[in-house]
Amino acid sequence: MARYTGAHCRQCRREGMKLFLKGDRCYTDKCAFARRGYAPGQHGQSKKKLSNYGIQLREKQKAKRIYGVLEGQFRRYYEKAETMRGITGENLLKLLEMRLDNVVFKLGYGASRREARQLVNHGHFLVNGHRVDIASYKLSVGDVITVSEKSRASERFKVFAANPKALPKWLSGNVENFEAKVISEPAREDIDVPVNETLIVELYSR
């Protein structure tokens, strides 16, 4: 499985904003972006005026990095979003939000999407009673996500259960039973990522 193996803080610096790719570390003084809030590389501190294409490209790169998706997979999400009813940009974000690793992160299992993806890959979760270890698995309305019986006994999951997150409207959860359910598709106002999806559509429509 292809994945990004470089420095994650470098990605935040390149986009000029915190993407919270490393969870709790991003809220501390150890955050590289807080110490060096300019783009990486020899010319990172120079002022550059981006063209329209450059602005659109940066928006696409930002979305890819937030969700941890590589170029080929991101383009396939876009192509699928084009064939769906509704607004293409919003469809794209919905598809990304409905990934299993993102939903696991939203449920509070993992301080970042990267950690949530690792938990999924290690087989800690069941979907409708069946073990799923594919981070990109697309959930549907009505799907029930549970933590496996063996994983519930681990200290890591006990800590997650003791510190539940506020869930978005399209998810419901039962912390005591380590269970959650997708009750609807996310609306655009429920998706809190700092991405302008219109610019991504403009980029792919060139």
Domain with CATH 1.10.1050.10 in the chain: 8-96
Q: Which of 71, 92, 108, 39 is nearest to 199 (CA)?
A: 92
Rg (CA), the chain: 18
Interval 8-35: pLDDT, tens: 555 555 555 555 555 555 445 555 555 5
Interval 66-81: pLDDT, tens: 999 999 999 999 999 9
For domain 8-96, the CATH architecture is: Orthogonal Bundle (1.10)
Domain with CATH 3.10.290.10 in the chain: 99-184
Q: What average pLDDT score do residues 150-162 get? A: 88
CATH topology of domain 99-184: 3.10.290
Residues 39 and 16 sit within 8 Å (Cβ to Cβ): yes
DSSP, residue by residue, 70-106: -HHHHHHHHHHHHHSSS-HHHHHHHHHHTBHHHHHHH
**Pseudo-torsion of CA 80, 81, 83, 84, nearest 10°?**
120
Residues 108 and 178 sit within 8 Å (Cβ to Cβ): no
Whole-angstrom distance, CA of residue 202 vs CA of residue 194: 17
pTM: 0.81
